[in-house]
Structure 1
Amino acid sequence: MNSLDPIGAGIAEVESIVARARASQGVFEASGSQLLYDRAAQAVAWAIMEPSRNKHLAELAVETTGLGNVPDKITKNHRKTLGLMRDIAGARTYGVISNDPETGITEIARPIGVIGAVVPSTNPGATPANNIINALKCGNAIVVSPSPKGVPTCGALLGYIHAEFDKFGLDHDLVQMIPGRVSKEKTQRLLEIADLIVVTGSQNNVKRAYTSGTPALAVGAGNVCVIVDETADLAAAAQKIAASKTFDNATSCSSENSIVVVDEVYDALTAEMARTGGALITDDTRITSTLWVDGHLNPSAIARDADELIEALGLKGDVPADTQYIAVETKGIGPGFPLSGEKLSRVLAVYRAADFDDAVAITREIQLYQGAGHSVGIHTSDETRPLTLAKEIPTSRVIVNQAHTFATGGAFNNGMPFSLSMGCGSWGGNSIDDNLHWKHFIQSTKIVREIPAREPAVEDIFGAYWEQVGK
């Protein structure tokens, strides 16, 4: 390889990393057991959850990416990992995992091989840890491709993981990352030669994953819209919206970007929002003129603390001193109305709806513009209305009476799997419509035995049909 060809050298480096991962995975599988796979997953979990390391990773993430805040990243690293470990604790991922005499089928768990994981700068510690735990739990090796700004945090995480591996002799090559400055060429080569690709982050990477020729699990864009109807507990709704919107400075794809409020309770809700730190701006041009610069989100406002955001938006002195997020009254939806899209900041678009049916129509229009398939929410005491949303909105999740950021990716008080990657189904251009979890990192071999024949008579299948419409 010519030393003057940095692109070629980078591609060769990725090929070498994957080759080492493949060799290591072969040994891991050959000597595998459920105990070994579980211990490997526990090692990674403790690598990020041990308090001093968690704190260092959170500080490093904020320092190098400029996104989010340290206390919330510490919380995220801890709770997302703890929840995942709860989810996988009893999962059988080695050997015979089912044996059904009735069907004659015995199912044996098999690893996929080498997982290639592309992870975003918004969660440079928690997301790779989540992917690595799932991969090892199922007997795989994994190579992580972090965003350029996420390289230091991901590198530190892998150092902690390898230190845990050393405690029981696990090979470092099971968990690797693309070192140095990550390039499109390096990432592309990983996409092409891994056995499975998992992509969280930019939609450009998602599209490249799906066209790489490698089986891919990729997730769609978030642009969460939440309805507050006239039956809602307004104080609780306002508190949950505030907690969710401000968590880690709105870096999550599950952070509320818009709320749609039924007219009957609009004034009462905005008053409750004011009490929980939401400052309402009625002239949306004040925000669009400062949150976007030359057609792009203002880097001084993205994922910043409230005081920095207020300064960047030119609102200092115009909003209360205790303001935690900015709520903006607006009406337009679509490409010409950027407030209707994802904002990656403590800015919340607020739409007024005439009634619940109008709120559903507005929410549907927002989702069809951006964020289709991800998730929507509703604050209501009417048990029929979540079902209406589930039938009428192109979404994979309807979050009811919860702080959306905490609920969508799994919580200890709901049944969703803990994850930092949410599949969006065909609506979002994805192959999955559930939270990425351990079952996506495993495959199986089926032993098929002969059983007594179960062939029905033709009349058994078509009798009712013939009676209704004739032969």
Structure 2
Amino acid sequence: MKGRNSTLENFDYDLQSLQETRTIARQGKLAQAQLAKFSAEQIDQIIRNMVKAAEENAVSLAQMAVEETGFGKVEDKIFKNRFASTELYDFIKPMQTIGVINDDKVNKVMEIAEPVGLLMGIIPSTNPTSTTIYKSIIAIKSRNGIVFSPHPSALKCTLAAARLMNDAAVAAGAPANIIGCISKPSMQATNELMKCDEVAMIIATGGSAMVKAAYSAGKPALGVGPGNVPAFIERTADIRKAVKNIIASKTFDNGTICASEQSVIVEESMRSQVMDEFRRQGGYFMSPEETGKVAKLLFVRGHAMNAKMVGRSAAVIAENAGITIPSGTKVLLGEQQGVGEGYPLSYEKLTTVLGFYTVKDWQEACDLSIKLLNNGGVGHSLSIHTENPEMAVRFAEKPVFRILVNTASSQGGVGASTGLAPAFTLGCGTWGGSATSDNVTPMHLINKKRIAYGIKDVTENQSSSPAACGAQSCGSSAVSDEQIMNVVNEVINLLKKRGDN
């Protein structure tokens, strides 16, 4: 009976999950239809209240996320929550997403923004609250509603962030249920939300399988692939600064941002200097035996990250791997001689571990970077530390859409330390199987309606077109019936003469 009751409970849960999903989709669609009529002033008022709520709850949401998932650090998640609200708002506030957004007086084309409709947001466990805040704000800015599918291991904190954003929006005048979230997550519920008629577009941030599922749902989707960011320290680089940036990036929220560095590449002429600098700043170079133990701990089922080691400190990883490291170690580095099978640290590692490579020169660094990117990060990001501007341009030829120069890759990729758009959805373009190569903003979530005036007179040429020629004469080049009969008679007479001969 116990087994039967368990089966019934699972069946009931699945039914409840599906029903909840259908309900929040319908409610979200109705709410969005009302929001579509709001003015720019009304939308800005709503967003300001959402930002205020996110700021006031940045600490508690960060604590919830770390407590529930075990990933990352509270202080860094606080920064991400604030970045996804206050910094984001400052960037998107001037954006015109309502009414006439462009008026080309020369070509007489006027562009009018229209919302996409109801969005579905897929939320990862690594950045649950900040991604929920970010997607909620860019959705409202473009007059869209949004419903979230949370990762089961980050359900509580994602649900709390979504409800916080919805309550703040409604308190400032938005329609009820403009932001929704599944509280009973299941694969059936996620699939239902992806394919339901109410959802107009999917914004997917998560694992490769989930992103592929979003693109196969039969509707527009903005998905992002994994990052496997190589960081090249070129011979002209400021070594101390380069190492400082890499460590700051890799330890930021313990490496949970997909734009974080995954491998360090150095030229052999500066290998010793770079290694010494890493040691001075808290890097620990593992022996081959220690590297093997850590690699075995980090991955399951081939190259899938062990969830228990995602977003963990170097000390926690070392303890679980059974190796001893110096007190104060910030990152673990393991030398690798190749890429792919047999070289586990050549894959993405969303934690405080780096692969380490030595090359002869920048050309070999180029080749190695491409191999690493094709090993799970094509289209995403690449980091280079150099004082030679020409070198940065050379690396711009690599198959990525973010070339981050002399900065921490995690913070640079999301736009915290660079001029890129603040975002937690980083497109990988067609190279990475994504519909966009941009950092996603509200401008990706609008349709553009165009009013186009005639500026060229094409009617003058219609009289000489084949369609206008019927039985009537087509100008001076027309051939009369009499001329045609004369040609026919000449051909007949010619044939008769040939027959006489």
Q: TM-score, structure 2 length as denominator?
A: 0.86
Whether 2:163 is the aligned partner of 1:159: answer yes
Distance, in Å, in 2 between the alignment partners of 1:217 and 1:162 is: 22
Cα distance, 1:158 vs structure 2: 2.6
After superposition, the C-alpha distances for 1:311-368 in whole angstroms (9 at most, x for unaligned) are 112223xx22111110111112113322100111100100001111111111111111
Match of 1:46 among 49, 52, 55: 52
Q: Distance in 1 between matches of 2:119 and 2:452?
A: 28
Aligned to 2:328: 322
Specify which of 363, 376, 381 is matched with residue 382 of structure 2: 376
The answer to whether residue 277 in structure 2 is matched with residue 272 in structure 1 is yes
Contact 1:98–1:108 at 8 Å: present in 2 too?
A: yes
Is there any run of 5+ residues in structure 2 with no aligned partner, and where?
1-7, 462-501
* Separation (CA, whole Å) in 2 of partners of 1:121 and 1:323: 26
Matching residue's letter, 1:285 = G
1:119 aligns with 2:123: yes
Mapped partners of 1:115, 1:291: distance in 2: 34
Q: In the superposition, relative to structure 1, how do residues 293 and 175 fare at CA in structure 2: closer, same or farther (>3 Å)? A: closer
Give the structure 1 partner of residue 40 of structure 2: 34
- Partner secondary structure for residue 125 of structure 1: helix
Q: CA RMSD in A?
A: 2.0
Counterpart of 2:76 in structure 1: which amino acid? D
Secondary structure of the 1:173 match is coil
1:174 corresponds to 2:178 = yes
Asked whether the 8 Å contact 1:118–1:146 carries over to 2, the reply is: yes
Shift of 1:166: 4.7
In the TM superposition, what is the alpha-carbon distance from 1:293 to its structure 2 partner? 5.3
Tell me: CA distance 1:208–1:298, structure 2 relative to 1, closer, same or farther (3 Å).
closer
Tell me what 2:141 maps to: 137
The match for 1:310 is 318
Q: d(CA) in 2 for partners of 1:162 and 1:131? A: 12
Deviates more, 1:284-293 or 1:55-64: 284-293
Name the structure 2 match of 1:402. 407
Corresponding position of 1:183: 186
Query: Residue 436 of structure 1 corresponds to which residue in structure 2?
Result: 440
Deviation at 1:387, TM superposition (A): 1.4
Q: 1:331 aligns with which of 329, 337, 341?
A: 337
Alignment of 1:222-371 (within 5 A): 222-283=227-288, 284-292=291-299, 295=302, 296-316=304-324, 319-371=325-377
What residue in structure 1 maps to residue 451 of structure 2?
447
Asked if the contact 2:34/2:175 (under 8 Å) is kept, the reply is no
Distance 1:153 1:196 in 2: 24
In structure 1, give the amino acid aligned to 2:446.
I
Residue identity over aligned pairs, in percent, reads 33
Superposed, 1:8-87 pairs within 5 Å as: 8-30=15-37, 32-50=38-56, 53-87=57-91
Query: For this pair of structures, how many residues does the alignment match?
Result: 447
Distance in 2 of aligned mates of 1:128 and 1:46: 15
After superposition, the C-alpha distances for 1:245-272 in whole angstroms (9 at most, x for unaligned) are: 1010111101111011111111101111
The secondary structure found in structure 1 opposite 2:374 is helix
Equivalent residues of 1:69, 1:305 under 8 A apart:
no
Structure 1 length normalisation: TM-score? 0.91
Amino acid at match of 1:390: A
Write out per-residue CA displacement over residues 193-212 of structure 1, whole angstroms, 9 at most, x where no aligned residue: 21000000011111111111
User: CA-to-partner distance for each residue in 1:215-267, whole Å, 9 max, x for gaps?
Assistant: 11101111111101111100000110110010101111011110111111111
- Partners of 2:308 and 2:124 lie apart in 1 by 19
More divergent stretch after superposition (330-339 vs 20-29) = 330-339
Quote the offset at 1:9 in angstroms.
4.1
Q: Distance in 2 between matches of 1:285 and 1:168?
A: 55
Paired residues of 2:103 and 2:111 also in contact (CA < 8 A): yes
Q: Secondary structure at the match of 2:323?
A: coil
Q: Which has the larger radius of gyration?
A: 2
User: Helix, strand or coil: the match of 2:36?
Assistant: helix
- Letter of the 2:316 partner, please give it: E
**Partner AA of 1:257 in structure 2:** Q
Which residue number in structure 1 is paired with residue 101 of structure 2? 97
1:461 matched residue in structure 2:
none
| Equivalence for 1:467 | none
**SS across alignment from 1:288:** helix
1:385 Cα deviation after fit:
1.1
User: CA separation in 2, counterparts of 1:63 and 1:48?
Assistant: 19
Change (3 A) 1:238 1:248: same
Please tell me whether the aligned partners of residues 290 and 314 of structure 1 are also in contact (alpha carbons under 8 angstroms).
no
2:436 counterpart SS class: coil
Cα separation, 2, equivalents of 1:373 and 1:69 = 28
Range that drifts further, 281-290 or 216-225 = 281-290
Paired AA for residue 144 in structure 1: F
Cα distance in structure 2, aligned partners of 1:335 and 1:20: 48
Distance 2:356 2:369 in 1: 11
Aligned equivalents of 2:176 and 2:61: distance in 1? 20
